[in-house]
Chain A
């Protein structure tokens, strides 16, 4: 439908507490700095208590729906290994799945009511022709802070979009508290240059 191609849509999917809202805020700010219309949507309330969390960002000349239509996301970013599989319906046929290999074991698995797929990586490759699979947690730990993993992922997402790098850097400076700024800038660079 004719509006589709003019709007860029991105979906982040993860688990409550992974910093998904910050990633979404930085991206929205970046799009705004680059002078685009922008809308975002995040999950609040009940859904945040350790459950799945998704954030949706859309930018373009004029954005209507804050929700990403099925099969329209340029990028589907999974901050946890199997999250992208659950939300695969969002991804455009030629879009990119950017996936962290981090595993967060659901309580349903710990209790033996469900199993965590052991072939997650193979399934990701099979399902997503354009897949960037990143050991983000390990990379963040080597930078000195496991919590920077989401910013590494954001950097990898940024490299696949058309927003200017300077706008990203400005947005990070505006959104991140000063004491965490240098680690986040390092983490972003790390993701941005990931091959």
Chain B
């Protein structure tokens, strides 16, 4: 049976077919839909959103060491958070198969950087599989489980935005459950890497690499497609798809299991062609290695080293190699108005950002929808570094003696992810920052996943609803205030008071995400043209529903009736519609 599935849906299918019984992760574009799809099999697969990627990784590692097959999912930067357990799990190894699904984002469609996860595979000395479409993603999860159990090693499945979010046809298989019973077998020399045993494990890691490299050369994940032998192209992951369109006549060595490097296969391929080109997305990992084997090749001298590859970009590479020229398509007219992503109509974060526009403060932001507070007219984010960084950065600037008041903004899911430790630091080390948790009761940016504050698990069970206020107090913050961000007057009162405080303070701005609620706050607002003085005050909210096209009007299709604009209008020109 063939189905049209996204790469992420296919990864979930692969995990199901592989007999995975434990699946963990933290949401992050473009990886999120894997667990959201897999949870449909919750009777057979335990699924959870962990508070962060490190915890998700450790839970999966525990399950794998106990003998279960498992996957853990995250975006590329999430693996930084999980890097600590990753590096040592490589030494102590797993028992049940463990696949670490990491989705890279070449082109930075939804990410703050463009790091290449294959570097982590080499760093941790573990295998990496790189599918090129959905059906391969499904098969590679199963292959990953098999490699993981054969070599007792966690295996990275590196997806990318285009693999995860493209749909292609997938052939479905049956589920094959593991025959191994779950039950931890005590073996401290394997599982307790204190130095005396860790040094032995370190040697095992090297020995294992050599065995896996041999296996990679004969694995069906890597293959040679012999065609014209004048040019041979080594193509990894989705780059293979682009290469097949741009060089239909060339011989290709398709790499799906890229590390440990399949040297035997690469040498055979290189020996059979006149010129060698390496096409890989992001870093030049294969290219560097192939050169280190003493094989001459072209690579990043003609293939772009940054951004996403495409047929269009590789046609330019081909033209550069052949000395030909191609006529590039016309760029968009440069006078078209930009359409940057915006806080949605009715977004509760707008109340806080608007409130902050009335203060001369520095805002350290964080990762989530509220990063959109950086755009005009709100302009109320000055720095973004990483998940949870908004809180700790504020403290650092404060301690450095930054003359302006520093406000850290973090979302609810991000607070649970890695904001709590920063807040603890502020309280412990006598900071004075104001921290605002914009709590919209969901992980909004990635498409509304539950987290420890929502009172519901990924499997749909009711659970404890963790209180941000109680955590703040337990950390040692005395000034803890909760506000309704739609009440602009109250937002201003609280900001005035808390920004003036000498001690640290925590403001929790709480209102659910309207996209998640799927219902409007109230009737859409309208502007009475007779009363409107066209002053533009309402436009300071940066609401996409308020349009100025000579006169100012409210788009009834977009307006959620939150009423913030009505509160700002000094001429009472904005009111609810009559219907």
* Residue from the list B4, B332, B372, B377 in contact with A86, Cβ < 8 A: B332
- Taking a contact as CB atoms under 8 Å apart, the answer to whether B162 and A111 are in contact is no
Q: Are B336 and A89 interface neighbours, CB within 8 A?
A: no
B546 on the A face (CB < 8 A):
yes
Instruction: Indicate if B29 sits at the interface (CB-CB under 8 A).
Output: yes
A138 at the interface (CB under 8 A from B): no
Given known A88-B332, A117-B335, contact A69–B310 (CB-CB < 8 A) = yes
**Contact stretch, chosen from B213-221, B341-349, B519-527:** B341-349
Complexed CA–CA distance, A46 and B111 (Å): 8
Q: Does A61 contact B (CB under 8 A)?
A: no
* Stretch binding the partner chain, chosen from A48-56, A152-160, A161-169, A185-193: A48-56
A45 contacts B548, CB within 8 Å?
no
CB neighbours (8 Å) of B542 from chain A are: 107, 111
B residues 300-343 touching A (CB-CB < 8 Å): 310-312, 315, 328-333, 335-343
A45 to B368, CA, bound (A): 10
State the interface size on chain B (CB cutoff 8 A). 59
B110 at the interface (CB under 8 A from A): yes
A82: which B residues are within 8 A, CB to CB?
A: 336-337
CB contact under 8 A between A46 and B329, given known A29-B4, A105-B547, A105-B549: no
Contact present for B547 and A64 (CB under 8 Å): no
- Of the listed stretches B48-56, B84-92, B242-250, B381-389, chain A binds B242-250
Is A44's CB within 8 Å of the partner chain B? yes
A-B contact count (CB 8 A): 167
User: Which parts of A96-118 form the interface with B (CB within 8 Å)?
Assistant: 105-117
The listed residue (A44, A87, A107, A113) touching B110 by CB distance below 8 A is A44
Decide yes or no whether B165 CB sits under 8 A from chain A: yes
Chain B residues with CB under 8 Å of A4's CB are 245
Would B341 and A48 count as touching, CB distance under 8 A? yes
Q: How large is the interface on A (under 10, 10 to 19, 20 to 34, 35 or more residues)?
A: 35 or more
Contact of B166 among A40, A49, A110 (CB under 8 A): A40
A 44-91 contacts with B by CB, 8 A: 44-52, 63-67, 69-71, 82, 85-90
Which residues of chain A come closer than 8 Å to B165, judged between CB atoms? 41-44
B482 on interface, CB distance cutoff 8 Å: no
Q: CB of B494 within 8 A of chain A? A: no
A57 → chain B, closest Cβ, in Å?
A: 9
Give chain A nearest CB distance to B354 CB in angstroms: 14
Q: In the assembly, what is the distance between CA of A51 and CA of B373, in Å?
A: 15
25 A-B contact pairs sorted by A residue (CB < 8 Å): A28-B167, A39-B166, A40-B4, A41-B166, A45-B446, A47-B109, A47-B110, A49-B341, A49-B344, A50-B342, A51-B340, A52-B339, A64-B245, A66-B162, A66-B241, A82-B336, A85-B332, A85-B333, A86-B332, A88-B332, A89-B331, A105-B548, A111-B548, A114-B337, A115-B337
Knowing that A49-B343, A50-B339 are A-B contacts, what are 12 other residue pairs whose CB atoms are under 8 Å apart, sorted by A's residue number?
A3-B248, A16-B341, A39-B168, A41-B166, A44-B447, A45-B110, A49-B342, A65-B245, A105-B555, A107-B342, A109-B547, A110-B539
